[in-house]
Structure 1
Amino acid sequence: MAELVVFWKYVFLFTLMVFLGSVHDAVVPHGKPCIKNNNRMICWCSLNYSNVNCSSQGLDFIPVLPNNTTVLDMSNNTLTDLNRNTTKNITNKHLSLLNISHNHISFIENGFLAVLDNLTTLDVSTNPLSIANLTKSLKNNLPTLETIFMEGMKWTQFPYDVMKVLENTTLTNVSVNNNRLKAFGNEIFPHMSNLVRLQLSANKIRYFHGNKTFPYLPNLTHLDLSDNLINNVNLSGANSLTYLSLSSNDLTDLPVCCSNNNSLVPKLRELFMDNNCISVLMMDNINCLDELHLLNISATRIQSIESYTFAKLKSLHTLTIERTESLGKQNSIKAYAFSNPSLRRLFIRYNQIIFNPYRMDVAKIFENCTNLTNLDLSGNHLRMLKETEWSRLLQNVPNLIYLDISYAAMMYLPKPIPKVLTNLRTFHFKNNQANIIPTKYFIQFRHMTTLLLSDNKFTTITSEMLPDAFLRHLRYLNFEFNPFECNCDLLWFLSLAKRLSRNDTKTTLLGYPKYYECTGGKGKTKLKDVTITKRGCLFRHQTNTIIECTCAAVIIILMSISFVYRYRWHFRYFKYILNLHRRKGVTSSNEAFVRDIYVSCSRSDLKIVWDRILGKLEQERLNVFVRHMHIPLGTPELPGILKAMDESKLIMLCLSDTFAQDHLCEFETNMAINMSLTVGTWKLIVIVLEELSSENVTKTIHRLIQNDDNYILWDKTEETNNSYNWTRLLRQIHGSDNVNLSILS
């Protein structure tokens, strides 16, 4: 709302701006050169030569003017004094506006303006003129004068003498801002009852007494006392005042506008109290303002907004509380804080308020604000609000047409917004951290005309995010400063940007192409310079598909090879079982076995095993099978091993370092374990011939020898030390001491 302050501050200058605007519009670029000096063009004129602009040309004189000149702009030159000789080139009687501001004029000769019989507007701003000299130059010379501008004169008191000599003029507008006034007298305007706007901003006034001012200005409607040092205000008698600005002063409370339940300013519609030292809102001072439409209390020291603070302002239409960092804490906004059915526009931006649903009653902040149409929450902490809290926050303002939640550290677009705010027309979501737009998120906004999503984390925009049905009624779209990735996913948005950059479209892509760039790589590239074709993207898609399928196939093959290698012995065994049409029903009866013991040992241990163990077993009339000795030459080894193991009642494993390094011994061990687990009737006899090295203790061997009761530690160097082991071996062979198969599962 600060822009409104500026607007109203200079609204009484409207007449001058119209005149000067016509001059500049006529001169550049629509004007034409019309006056030269020493072969240099110094002035430009309108088509009919009525408006002449000679500003900013370094002139120390007024050139010869066309006969029908009515507006002359001599501002920003080097004029030092004005006399009859200076005005000799002004020969016409039609001049109505003279602008000699921003020069070095320190003296004006008496009667200088006598020839300007029709002058209505005079601007002598920002010149080192004294009040006395200006008073003498104006005396009894300007009966038609209506507006005079005396800005930036660096005066320390109000120019009362100037006002006095203009007593018989038609003066209605006076501008004396940007001076250094120390006091404001009630006797200055006794003959100016038609004055409707008074501006005394940018001075050093410390107090204002309305009872000494308003009686002499009964028609005063606009009063601007902003940018002073005011700490006390008296508004008695301000019966016609509709606009009051007390911005940028030293006030600690709201001005007293009420007395005995009666309003001192009954017609006041706009009140600006921003940039003051107010810490507590004494609403009783202004609650009687039944006509108040606009209230600005920004940039103060308010600690919190209590419940029902603005409820008694019957006509409050616009409320602005921004840049108030003292509100930047949790629970600074109470429930029902903005409760007022007449409220239409609410601006609470850049306050750093923490919207914490655990400490703030989010559902009741906007309670009884159902007629609110414009809501600005930008520059606050909204990140803690979840989807449910957003629904509760917005459920009381379903008629919003304008919503701004920019600069709020939002990570995502809240889903409840399109569901609740179906009438939204303007949506600002600038400078957040969202990186994706949900599919069909904006299709639900059937009346939206402005969408601003600049400074987020969007890398690509697709047609599903911005459907054609949504773009048809959109007027302004902004995606500036997003980190776009210029690949085939962005092809649709590139086409859209080029289409919207044409003048024949209703939708304007703001900031394009200047602020739209691709990120990544060594540098940044403008989107307009990126070349991505549909054909190239299609070929790339096919290529990517082939590459992906090839990679997937290679991975599957490698995993299959690894799996097959890991369980190669198991697969070989099952293959053998299938080839022989064997299943779990293999019999375990003694009549099915051809041999008593199948012995598995390494070739280097064969002699020791035979001399110490197998020879004695044969003496016990036991049929022993060793592949090194009993498989005929030329016979396939693996089928022979499996067949012999199937035909043996017991399987003996003679473990050693060389056994662990022999692949066939490893195969025999795995097959023996599989047979034992599958059938459950075979018996394993494990003999450890020597202490195994740690690198040779595989997982399978470790399971076999993890329990001392499940294996026999055989001393292959001493025959006499094995009597006990021999007894245990015979007991296992004859069935009284078997291995526990549960350790193998």
Structure 2
Amino acid sequence: MMNSVFTCVVISLVRLTFTIADDCPSLCDCRDDNTIVFCNSTGISEVPKDLPQNTVTLNLGYNNIKSIPKDAFKGLKQLQNLELGGNQFTETSFLNGALNISSIRTLDLSGGSYMTIPQGLPPNFTTLYFFDNPITTLTANSFVNAPSIEYLELRYNQLKTIEDHAFDPLVNASEIDISFNKLVDGSFSPLSFVKNQKLLNLEFRFNALKTFPNTTHFPRSLQHFDVVGNQIKVIPAYALRTLTNLQTIEVWEGAITTVEDNAFYGLNKLTILDFMEDHVSSVLTNLTFNGLTALKQLFFDSNQVSKIEVGTFHGMTAIQELWFSSNNLTTLEEGVFDLKYNKNLSVIYLDFNPWICDCHIRWLRQMIDDHPDLIQDTGLSVCKGPPPVAGKSWAVLSPKDFVCK
């Protein structure tokens, strides 16, 4: 009997010990059996000392923590995700290898006061969020101790210069995002990504580039390329010819006025091309989109295109959607849209153009009757002229109303 009582007491004490050890720290919010611990925006000035030992995700963001001592995360052998953003940390805030934790996979150092990439980062981490910091330059030593990084987000910093070899150590990187910085022509070398042969996504969104980057030495593994919102005016011929695995290109909301013939030559895996809200005014010819045999979606709305030649889309045998709303189109030659060549074409947007609804586009109005689901929003395609039909939409007109005098 005494042995049974003793055993029960021991078991109870053991259970109590584990319960106390895994209690949620004061001011923090713990979820999923204390594996996710939210201590963010609580006003704390140091890392809690009683963190649950089974913590997997720890959020310490947006507090008043000044430094991280070496043993701050001692015993957290399952810690994988550590969020430290918004504490105004500097490079010297992590004491004596405080982040040398082999289990960490994701680290957030955003919203700090870093002028360089901190050293002494987790040895096996794969994701680094490093945005909204005052850093202006990446050096050849920035990532020398972080070869395990696969996803690197450098958005919303003050980057003006990427020195040669800065990204060389990141041989496992699949995504590098340098959007919303201050990069200009010459800020980085054409060889900047030559060592990143596993790179799939590369983003330069909303920088100040005026010339389309020289991509000759960019890794051929790239599948997504983004230069949205820059000051680039011309997409030159053969600009991306070596990036034969590209699947999507985004260049919307920029300053592009001209797309040269054969600009996308060689990109026979590209499925999405987005030029929305640029300033393209160049004539679209049968060579503008030459080689885009796999393209499914072409977004060209809100530009200044006034002429599309017959044959422009004929080589795009996989095309499904064509978006040309809000351009300067007044007329189109018969055959610009030809289902004989574009058998998969199911959506065309042509609304908000200054159409001259005469006999020259009667074929287009007839196409609406022949294929009712093909041309979208016909009620928003309004004739600018001639006078008898000016102000009327295609939805209320019939092909016989499209006449020449």
What do the CA deviations read for 1:21-48 (whole angstroms, capped 9, x no partner)? Answer: xxxxxxxxxxxxxxxxxxxxxxxxxxxx
Once the two structures are superposed, the pairs formed by residues 442-461 of structure 1 within 5 Å of their partners are none
Task: Give the aligned length.
Answer: 352
Q: Pick from 294, 310, 320 the counterpart of residue 342 of structure 1.
A: 294
Partner AA of 1:74 in structure 2:
C
What do the CA deviations read for 1:376-425 (whole angstroms, capped 9, x no partner)? Answer: 1122244x33xxx4752211534213333344467999441352587x5x
Once the two structures are superposed, the pairs formed by residues 563-578 of structure 1 within 5 Å of their partners are none
Pairing 1:152–2:111 present: yes
Partner AA of 2:336 in structure 1:
L
Is the CA contact 2:277–2:303 (under 8 Å) kept in the aligned structure 1? yes
Partner AA of 1:339 in structure 2:
N
Is the CA contact 1:411–1:434 (under 8 Å) kept in the aligned structure 2? no
The structural deviation recorded for 1:70 is 0.9
Partner AA of 1:243 in structure 2:
N
Once the two structures are superposed, the pairs formed by residues 152-551 of structure 1 within 5 Å of their partners are 152-160=111-119, 162-163=120-121, 166-167=122-123, 170-209=124-163, 212-231=165-184, 232=186, 233-234=188-189, 235=192, 236-258=194-216, 263-325=217-279, 327=280, 329=281, 332-340=283-291, 341-354=293-306, 360-382=307-329, 384-385=330-331, 389=332, 391-395=334-338, 396-408=341-353, 414-417=365-368, 419=370, 424=374, 428-429=376-377, 432=380
The structural deviation recorded for 1:249 is 1.8
The 1:414/1:212 distance shift into structure 2, 3 A limit, reads: same
Is the CA contact 2:28–2:38 (under 8 Å) kept in the aligned structure 1? no
What do the CA deviations read for 1:345-385 (whole angstroms, capped 9, x no partner)? Answer: 2111111433xxxxx35423323223211211122244x33
2:95 is matched with which residue?
Answer: 136
Is the CA contact 1:247–1:272 (under 8 Å) kept in the aligned structure 2? yes
Q: Distance in 1 between matches of 2:176 and 2:210?
A: 20
1:551 is matched with which residue?
Answer: none
Q: Distance in 1 between matches of 2:67 and 2:169?
A: 32
What do the CA deviations read for 1:689-730 (whole angstroms, capped 9, x no partner)? Answer: xxxxxxxxxxxxxxxxxxxxxxxxxxxxxxxxxxxxxxxxxx
Q: Distance in 2 between matches of 1:431 and 1:123?
A: 50
Is the CA contact 2:261–2:287 (under 8 Å) kept in the aligned structure 1? yes
Q: Distance in 2 between matches of 1:272 and 1:192?
A: 25
Normalising to structure 2: TM-score of the pair?
Answer: 0.74
The 1:126/1:458 distance shift into structure 2, 3 A limit, reads: farther
For 1:212, what is the secondary structure of its paired residue?
coil
Q: Distance in 1 between matches of 2:118 and 2:43?
A: 25
For 1:132, what is the secondary structure of its paired residue?
coil
The 1:363/1:417 distance shift into structure 2, 3 A limit, reads: farther
Partner AA of 1:76 in structure 2:
S
2:46 is matched with which residue?
Answer: 82
Is the CA contact 2:379–2:395 (under 8 Å) kept in the aligned structure 1? no
Q: Distance in 2 between matches of 1:228 and 1:255?
A: 16
Q: Distance in 2 between matches of 1:376 and 1:140?
A: 49
2:72 is matched with which residue?
Answer: 112
What do the CA deviations read for 1:176-225 (whole angstroms, capped 9, x no partner)? Answer: 1121211112324334333211221222222334x513431222121111
Partner AA of 1:416 in structure 2:
M
> Which structure has the larger Rg?
1
Q: Determine which structure has greater relative contact order: mean sequence separation of CA pairs < 8 Å that are 6+ residues apart, divided by chain length.
A: 2
The structural deviation recorded for 1:246 is 1.6
The 1:369/1:106 distance shift into structure 2, 3 A limit, reads: same
Q: Distance in 2 between matches of 1:228 and 1:366?
A: 36
Q: Distance in 2 between matches of 1:405 and 1:103?
A: 51
Is the CA contact 2:29–2:37 (under 8 Å) kept in the aligned structure 1? no
Partner AA of 1:344 in structure 2:
K
Q: Distance in 2 between matches of 1:140 and 1:52?
A: 23
Partner AA of 1:393 in structure 2:
V
The structural deviation recorded for 1:299 is 3.2
The 1:186/1:150 distance shift into structure 2, 3 A limit, reads: same
The structural deviation recorded for 1:335 is 4.7
The structural deviation recorded for 1:130 is 3.0
Partner AA of 1:216 in structure 2:
P
Is the CA contact 1:362–1:392 (under 8 Å) kept in the aligned structure 2? no
Q: Distance in 1 between matches of 2:28 and 2:224?
A: 46
Q: Distance in 1 between matches of 2:23 and 2:348?
A: 46
Extract unaligned runs of 5+ from structure 1: 1-50, 55-60, 355-359, 436-455, 460-745
Q: Distance in 1 between matches of 2:68 and 2:147?
A: 29
Partner AA of 1:197 in structure 2:
Y
What do the CA deviations read for 1:139-160 (whole angstroms, capped 9, x no partner)? Answer: 2773422211111113222223
Is the CA contact 1:71–1:97 (under 8 Å) kept in the aligned structure 2? yes
What do the CA deviations read for 1:464-485 (whole angstroms, capped 9, x no partner)? Answer: xxxxxxxxxxxxxxxxxxxxxx
Is the CA contact 2:89–2:114 (under 8 Å) kept in the aligned structure 1? no
Identity between Structure 1 and Structure 2 (%): 17
Is the CA contact 2:167–2:196 (under 8 Å) kept in the aligned structure 1? yes
Q: Distance in 1 between matches of 2:174 and 2:343?
A: 36
For 1:392, what is the secondary structure of its paired residue?
coil
The 1:421/1:368 distance shift into structure 2, 3 A limit, reads: farther
Once the two structures are superposed, the pairs formed by residues 41-80 of structure 1 within 5 Å of their partners are 61-62=26-27, 68-79=33-44
The structural deviation recorded for 1:112 is 2.9
The structural deviation recorded for 1:125 is 0.8
For 1:215, what is the secondary structure of its paired residue?
coil
For 2:259, what is the secondary structure of its paired residue?
coil
For 1:82, what is the secondary structure of its paired residue?
coil
Is the CA contact 2:365–2:394 (under 8 Å) kept in the aligned structure 1? no
What do the CA deviations read for 1:228-250 (whole angstroms, capped 9, x no partner)? Answer: 22223323333222211122222
Is the CA contact 2:151–2:174 (under 8 Å) kept in the aligned structure 1? yes
Q: Distance in 2 between matches of 1:434 and 1:140?
A: 62
Q: Distance in 2 between matches of 1:343 and 1:256?
A: 23
Is the CA contact 2:39–2:60 (under 8 Å) kept in the aligned structure 1? yes
Normalising to structure 1: TM-score of the pair?
Answer: 0.42
The 1:52/1:391 distance shift into structure 2, 3 A limit, reads: farther
The 1:339/1:110 distance shift into structure 2, 3 A limit, reads: closer
Is the CA contact 1:303–1:332 (under 8 Å) kept in the aligned structure 2? no
The structural deviation recorded for 1:52 is 11
Is the CA contact 2:58–2:83 (under 8 Å) kept in the aligned structure 1? yes
Q: Distance in 1 between matches of 2:257 and 2:28?
A: 61
Question: Quick check: which one's helix share is greater?
Answer: 1
